[in-house]
Amino acid sequence: MALVLIVSQAIAQSKKGSANVPNRPKLVVGVVIDQMRWDYLYRYYDRYAGDGGFRRLLDKGFSCENTFIPYTPTYTACGHTCIYTGSVPSIHGITGNNWYDNELKRSVYCTEDKSVKSVGTTTDAGVMSPKNMLATTITDELRLATNFRSKVVGVAIKDRGAILPAGHSANSAFWYDSKTGDFITSTHYMNDLPQWVKDFNAQKLTDKYYAQGWNLLYPADSYTQSTSDVKDYEAKPFGADQKGFPYDLKRFIGKSYGTISSTPYGNTLTAEMAKAAVKNEQLGADAITDFLAVSFSSPDYIGHAFGPNSMEAEDGYLRLDKELGDLFRFLDETVGKNDYLLFLSADHGVVHVPGFSKENRLPGGTIDDAVWMKALEQPLQAAFGASKIITGTWNNQVFLNHSLIDSLKLNEEDIKNFIVKYISKQEGVARVFPVDELMEVPLPAKVRDMIASGYYPRRCGDIQYILQPGWIDGGPTGTTHGLWNPYDSHIPLVFYGWGIKPGKTNRETYMTDIAPTIAAMLRIQMPSGTVGHAITEVAH
């Protein structure tokens, strides 16, 4: 009788426990578009294909129309990290794609890790891991919440676009080796590529895409949202002789595998790899929630070279729309139309090419901080009796050689003031000041807070400069991003699928709100450095 009672109680407790298991989707899909301005959602809206990609998200998902990046510099590594950590560089430590480490006394790449080895290549492109990221990600927290039964996979052309979102404890992250044309990984995740990745690489899809070339998807006269095809201020990533559509890519077959990144085929390659990961890793195949973190890197390469007003950018987004539509249909069929939760956002935006701005009488121009530093060498030596006082510039900051300054007992404050005075006279500079005086500089609170949120002492410099709107650190062709301004910091954010009711909000939300929103929906702990808040209109 006692045994029957014990068994009955155990069954009752089991049933009770099952009733209390949180309701979660089978799969969460994070889509980050590298270099997507918010306005692209609507700039090309009438040209997006039916209800396939972007229009499907906007018409059937929930859009946070005023989502901003709350820090500077607005770069790729920082953006991907902030989306997935719900945090800012001052906490998670990813202060740029590269930075100068004041303790190591050398330049550091965001995902470098010399303690690991490449897997799937003989190059050093796999000597990477998330080690430099100091906080957990939403993908880490999902793994923790399920006692590591959830599967997490990151996919991107850029290493940082796959590694940082996938988190520290990911099952795998795969990125593209531009020297071999293969997707690779590192020993942080595994010692050998899965057979399905080897099979995927064996297809040599890059060469097949090269054979097709890149021509416009639609008639040229329909690209009314773009400039004419050929502009002097556009770069020429396919060779000086290729000055417009159609682009002959056959010359790159069997070589120059990195060139694919500057074409829409980089997105095609990424989407195909993401589908292969879902299928072969069986993501979303059981009741335990999995996570696919996919980043589309090619819009950034195209945007840097040609600018946001180019036919190349427009065609790139029209083609990306089709890729997304195909990916969503694949997820519908493989995981289940209402069984996956998806968000789409961007790591940063982009500013108009300065040449375009000048052509259209808009504010903007270029500076070259390397020229500034060279011009400062002789005056600094004359004034302070030492050379190499400046270590260099990274992320709109000047780094001083503190070891030299200390050993010679130089007056650091005088040196800072000397440099500030010089830079303040340069065209295109709005503000320049010692970082330790940030709270004293008359700046809008928004700008001051963004700079403070991007500051992590070990990896940041001594003097900050802010450029005037429309200005960039660059040359006569192409454009870039990295500043506080809306063209760099206003990004799309759309949620779709499981648990999402169609709608939108125009209240201000932030990149750092994405991870806590997903955490609230999954009923798991938010990442360890989170400063954002759950978006209640989404996580209702």
Task: Determine contact, residues 289/339, Cβ cutoff 8 Å.
Answer: no
Q: Work out the angle at residue 472's Cα, subtended by the Cα atoms of residues 470 and 473, and round it to the nearest 5 degrees.
A: 170
Distances (CA, A) of 139 to 74, 419, 430: 22, 43, 39
Q: Could you give the CA distance from residue 30 to residue 61 in angstroms, rounded to a whole number?
A: 14
Distances (CA, A) of 319 to 44, 99, 326, 425, 489: 11, 34, 11, 44, 24
Cβ-count burial of 278 within 10 angstroms (0-12 exposed, 13-18 middle, 19+ buried)? buried
CA 218, distance to chain mean position in Å, is: 29
Task: Determine contact, residues 529/134, Cβ cutoff 8 Å.
Answer: yes
Q: Could you give the CA distance from residue 231 to residue 263 in angstroms, rounded to a whole number?
A: 18
Q: Could you give the CA distance from residue 273 to residue 283 in angstroms, rounded to a whole number?
A: 13
Selecting among 67, 72, 76, 509, the annotated active-site residue is: 76
Instruction: Say which DSSP state 128 is in.
Output: B
Distances (CA, A) of 466 to 373, 449, 493, 512, 529: 16, 14, 27, 23, 27
* Angle of helix 514-522 versus helix 138-145 axis, rounded to 10: 20
Query: Which amino acid belongs to residue 466?
Result: I
120: CB partners within 8 A, 6+ apart? 126, 177, 182, 183, 184, 185, 193, 197, 198, 201
The residue assigned the tokens 């973190």 is: 293
Q: Could you give the CA distance from residue 286 to residue 221 in angstroms, rounded to a whole number?
A: 49
Is 136 designated active site? no
Query: Which amino acid belongs to residue 192?
Result: D
Helix/strand/coil percent split, the chain, to 5:
40, 20, 40
User: Residue 79's closest CA among 256, 177, 88, 264?
Assistant: 88
Parallel/antiparallel/unpaired status of strands 340-346 and 27-33: parallel
Residues annotated as catalytic are 76
